[in-house]
Structures are given as C-alpha cells and as structure tokens.
Amino acid sequence: MAAMQCGEPCHTLVRDAHVLEGQGKYQEALDKYRAAEKADPQASLPVSLQAGLIFKLSSVAPKDEATKARQTARALAERATRLAADDPIAHEVLRMLDDDGVSPLHTPNPRAAKLLAEGSALFAQRKP
C-alpha cells in the first residue's frame, strides 16, 4: 500500500500549494497539488489535499456547481483512502461531506479564519 506522505519534489509542490491556498490563489494551488500527485502518484497526500480544497470551494460556489464540486471532492477523498487507508485528511473531507459542513466543535469568525489562513501561508513559507 502507498504512503500518505510524499518525497521530493512532491513535498515541495505541496508546500508551495499550501502557500498559494493561503493567499487565496485556489486554481494555482490546485495546479500545484496536481503536479505533486504526478510527481508521486502513490502518495495520498496531494490527492486528499485536492479533495479538501475542492470541498472548501464548494461551500462558496453556486448551488449547481457546489454539487459537482462535492462529488469531485468525494471521489478524490475516496481515491486517497485507497492509496493510504489511514489518510486523516481524506477521512475528514469524507466526514465533512457526510455531515454537510465543518466540525461543530468550533467555527472561526471570518476575521479569525483570515488570520489563520495568512499565518498558515507564512508558516509554509517559513517566515516569522
């Protein structure tokens, strides 16, 4: 069975995609995740991260596009679990799809969510 994590250059491409995602450059992030998947086709990480991003985007898409995006996210998450049965990102995407939303434990307000995204992008870039 394949591993969740990926080697180089997959790891660098995933890190770059995280930065782009944090900057709101979602198409560029998806392109990087896809390139990471091609670089290490046996790793589930780039597949599950694509699923997570597409699920996230489905929440702001028009209803007709949201349904298709959620179907795509589910297919990617299921494929990731076939690559690595214990992939936590894929399982969380599937849980959110089944529960129709984010974890009920805590939903950050918009300002906090923005700051978290900015912090994640800076962390991925290794900036203080």
Q: Which CATH number does the domain housing residue 38 bear? A: 1.25.40.10
Q: What is the rounded CA–CA span in Å between residue 90 and residue 30? A: 16
Indicate whether 102 belongs to any domain.
yes
Q: What is the rounded CA–CA span in Å between residue 68 and residue 41? A: 24
Handedness of CA 75, 80, 82, 83 (dihedral sign): positive
Indicate whether 108 belongs to any domain.
yes
Contacts with 42 (C-beta within 8 Å, 6 or more apart), sequence order: 2, 3, 83
Indicate whether 4 belongs to any domain.
no
Query: What is the pLDDT at residue 52?
Result: 96
- Reduced to 3 states, what is the DSSP secondary structure of residue 76? helix
Indicate whether 101 belongs to any domain.
yes
**Chain segment 42-93, per-residue pLDDT in tens:** 999 999 999 999 999 998 888 889 999 999 999 999 999 999 999 999 999 9
Indicate whether 14 belongs to any domain.
yes
Indicate whether 73 belongs to any domain.
yes
Indicate whether 48 belongs to any domain.
yes
pLDDT classification of 24: cutoffs 50, 70, 90: very high
Indicate whether 3 belongs to any domain.
no
Query: What is the pLDDT at residue 122?
Result: 74
Q: What is the number of domains present in the chain?
A: 1
Q: Which domain holds residue 77?
A: 10-124
Using the predicted structure, report yes or no on whether residue 127 has a pLDDT greater than 70.
Answer: no
**Chain segment 80-94, per-residue pLDDT in tens:** 999 999 999 999 999
- The more confidently predicted of residues 120 and 11 is 11
